[in-house]
Amino acid sequence: MNVSFTAADAVGSNGYITIVVPSQIGIVSSYVSQCMLYIGTQSAIPSCSLNASTFTVPLGALAISAGQNITVTLIGFAVLPKSTRPTGFFSIYSYSADNFMVDYSNSSYRVSSLVPVGYSLLSLSQANRTNSLSTVYNLKMQQNSPWDSNSYLLVQLPPAITATNSSISCADSNTNTPIPCTYTISTPNYINISLASSGSSLDTKISALVNPESCQPTSAFLFTTYTSDGYLYAYDNSSVTITNNAPSAFTAFSYSFSSSTYNSSSTLILNITNLVTSTSGYSLTSFSQFVNSSISSISCSSSLDLSCTMNGSALIINPIVSNSVFPVNTSIVVSGLFIPLANVSSMSALSFSQGYLVSRYDNITWQPSCTLPCYTCNPNTPTVCLSCYSTTVFTSLIYFYSNSCLAACPPATLSTNGSLTCTPCDSNCAECSLSALNCT
């Protein structure tokens, strides 16, 4: 630290200078007195001494002329002020060799820190990391030096984080004691947490903050601790971000398949009410089970021009025009599905914003309208068959007779010409073959 002043009066050799450091500047307890003295063009390394907060700098063989510029460099002694508030004034005295005061100044020199220090501890965690959920945020903060009473912490929120309303609350995480805090809606939004008592650490929970709408990492929070009159203790604008890890539910979601029988072509209609306004794409998991490229190709349509592409087993649905977003209320028709001759597993629908997961709906299931072994059935009674499957992939009960599907035609019936429908024999026949009239 350099202390510079202009001498009003001359001081002869063997005089000395004393510098009293203001109380806001700490003295390093292990300080070994080191200083340098510059008088005009002359310099020396005197044996300076420190008593409490007063430095004594002997002139030795050097002398001071009236009007000369004096600089004393004090090396490694100070702990800088804990805030950017200007310190009190240094007091500077010069004495003759016989200890008479020559000059003094106590109102012309003080210092202030221009850049606040960082925090020794700063962390923020969510009680629940689900998209768009109102939850509790837990904040831990510690400064290198204590703040004074009536200070405050200002937390500037990333744009992705909001509050349920302006009535958020804060409380000590350990004792649940309320801590005064306010939420201000502006650009950006911020929280003011009161530090009514002096201290150096804070462990608080903040209620009713709303998580970001997607799993995209947020931009950094900005933390600043202020004195009661607005000077800075500490500052951080880069080390704290959050990332959600669970999708939200859609506001509403419904679906329907156009076909209700195995081994048939179908369309899938999705009716979606998105929770957010930034949805830019969807994915249907386990969709490959409905793809049979030898029969048809998959296409998608909605109010936007869409592309449908397979990525592994998933169908990816995106607008053709880049940077487009889906309406909040969206209907998508997926055509070209083929219901396979196999058990069909459920699918999940996922929505994305800029490639990050937003919402999820599970258990999109296709179910045949009729109970096996029926292929078609009475609309009101799914167990009353109107026809049977012509393949034994699912069941051996492929012969239709009297609203039932059987493993073989019953006595006094037969199937003819490759038909799987059992026809009764003529009333004169106990059994028949080839035709109803051919008794056997």
pLDDT of residue 378: 92
H-helix or E-strand containing 29? Answer: none
The torsion angles phi and psi of 346, rounded to 5 degrees, stand at -75, 160
Label residue 121 left, alpha or beta by phi (over 0 means left) and psi (-120 to 50 means alpha). beta
**Sheet with 2-6, side-by-side order of all strands:** 2-6, 69-74, 35-39, 42-44
The full set of domains in the chain, from first to last, is: 2-105 (no CATH), 121-236 (2.60.40.1510), 252-364 (2.60.40.2230), 374-424 (no CATH)
Residue 193 is encoded by which pair of tokens?
């947490």
By three-state DSSP, how is residue 404 classified? strand
d(CA 354, CA 377): 46
pLDDT of residue 311: 96
Counting Cα atoms < 13 Å in the Cβ hemisphere of 131 gives 24
Q: Are 321 and 281 in contact (CB under 8 A)?
A: no
Q: Give me the torsion for CA of 133, 135, 137, 138, rounded to 10°.
A: -140
Q: Are 80 and 113 in contact (CB under 8 A)?
A: yes
- Per-residue pLDDT of the chain in tens (440 residues, 90 and over written 9): 888 899 999 999 999 999 999 988 887 766 666 789 999 999 999 988 888 889 999 999 999 999 999 999 988 777 778 899 999 999 999 999 999 999 999 877 888 887 889 999 999 999 999 999 999 999 999 999 999 999 999 999 999 999 877 779 999 999 999 999 999 888 789 999 999 999 999 999 999 999 999 999 999 999 999 999 999 999 999 999 999 999 999 999 999 999 988 888 999 999 999 999 999 999 999 999 999 988 889 999 999 999 999 999 999 999 999 899 999 999 999 999 999 877 788 999 999 999 999 999 999 999 888 888 999 999 899 999 999 988 887 789 999 999 999 999 999 999 987 889 999 999 999 999 888 999 98
**Which contacts qualify for 218-223: CB closer than 8 Å, 24 or more apart?**
218/158, 218/160, 218/161, 218/242, 218/243, 219/158, 219/159, 219/160, 220/158, 221/124, 221/155, 221/156, 221/157, 221/158, 222/154, 222/155, 222/156, 223/119, 223/122, 223/141, 223/153, 223/154, 223/155, 223/156
pLDDT of residue 31: 64
Residue 3 is encoded by which pair of tokens?
């202390």
Residue 186 is encoded by which pair of tokens?
């502006």
Q: Are 24 and 113 in contact (CB under 8 A)?
A: no
- Amino acid identity of residue 79, one-letter, is V
- Please tell me the pTM assigned to this model: 0.77
